[in-house]
């Protein structure tokens, strides 16, 4: 996520339990928290909310944990993976099994009062999550389906209903992972094993393909002063040439659009 207050990108080094600040000049500052750092978003009152291995933590402006941990589940076979906030300020994060067991994942909702509720069940690798500009449609990825799905979203209750495909990605193009959305409701999706980000228009047409020199592309987010720079994160799995020459790098690409401002957590 782009931290507009400080003008830096904040990324998760997930399995190392670390947050890394990336400045526009490429300089970095690392914060080692331990455990798992799955997904991070800003809070309305300042600071951040972080999804951890099996729950949530609040962080202050310096990315330091404050207050008690908020558990979501206690199954050690599972971990959190990716998430985002809805327009009303609730934070969602989806879980998955370490061994990627089918149907073991759940999409969890953290309310501003710090209560936790399951939203979607029987997921496998719950990944990217975004809302359209009108707040009436949620877009969600369960990676093994190779789809981005649309749901009708009830802002009052936080319920997801009427699941249907928005985009189906060809198997040979890679597998959908993290996702960003622009102010025109265009969707930008990172492709694990695909070495690229695909940009789809609001009606689901493929508009752009951004290739990078890394095989496993994990997420993307808009940032910069006018939110027109797309930042792209990648993973390194120590497979040599199969990972790509720049595996684990963060890339920055100028675009012709502006990214939607991520909704902050209201708690």
Q: How far apart are CA 131 and CA 129, in angstroms?
A: 7
Q: Is 177 a catalytic residue?
A: yes
Q: How far apart are CA 81 and CA 52, in angstroms?
A: 9
Q: Please tell me what DSSP assigns to residue 8.
A: E
> 238: alpha, beta or left, given left = phi > 0 and alpha = psi -120 to 50?
left
Q: How far apart are CA 144 and CA 74, in angstroms?
A: 24
Burial zone of 266 (CB within 10 Å; 0-12 exposed, 13-18 middle, 19+ buried): middle
Q: How far apart are CA 194 and CA 215, in angstroms?
A: 6
3-state secondary structure 84-118: EECCCCCEEEEEEECCCCCCCEEEEEECCCCCEEE
Q: How far apart are CA 252 and CA 220, in angstroms?
A: 9
- Please identify which of the residues 82, 86, 149, 177 carries the catalytic annotation: 177
Place of tokens 């978003």: 41
Rounded alpha-carbon distances, angstroms, from residue 194 to 36, 75, 215: 25, 31, 6
Rounded alpha-carbon distances, angstroms, from residue 188 to 64, 206, 238, 246: 30, 10, 26, 21
Please list the active-site residues: 177
């Amino acid at each position: 996520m782009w931290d507009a207050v400080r003008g830096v990108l904040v990324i998760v080094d997930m399995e190392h339990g670390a947050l890394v600040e990336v400045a526009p000049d490429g300089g970095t500052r690392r914060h080692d928290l331990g455990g798992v750092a799955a997904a991070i978003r800003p809070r309305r009152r300042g600071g951040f909310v972080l999804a951890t291995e099996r729950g949530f933590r609040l962080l202050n402006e310096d990315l330091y944990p404050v207050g008690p941990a908020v558990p979501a589940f206690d199954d050690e076979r599972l971990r959190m993976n990716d998430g985002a906030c809805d327009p009303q300020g609730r934070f969602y994060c989806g879980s998955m099994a370490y061994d990627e067991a089918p149907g073991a994942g759940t999409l969890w909702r953290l309310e501003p009062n710090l209560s936790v509720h399951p939203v979607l069940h029987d997921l496998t690798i719950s990944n990217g999550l975004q809302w359209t500009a009108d707040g009436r449609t949620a877009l969600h990825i369960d990676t093994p389906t190779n789809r981005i799905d649309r749901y009708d979203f009830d802002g009052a209750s936080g319920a997801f209903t009427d699941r249907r495909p928005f985009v189906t990605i060809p198997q040979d193009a890679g597998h959908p992972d993290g996702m960003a959305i622009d102010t025109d409701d265009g969707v930008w999706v990172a492709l694990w094993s695909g070495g690229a980000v695909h940009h789809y228009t609001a009606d689901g047409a493929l508009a752009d393909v951004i290739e990078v020199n890394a095989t496993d592309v994990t997420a993307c987010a808009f940032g910069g002063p006018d939110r027109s720079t797309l930042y792209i994160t990648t993973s390194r799995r120590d497979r040599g040439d199969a990972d790509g020459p720049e595996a684990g790098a963060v890339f920055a690409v100028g675009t012709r659009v502006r990214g939607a401002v991520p909704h902050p957590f209201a708690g």
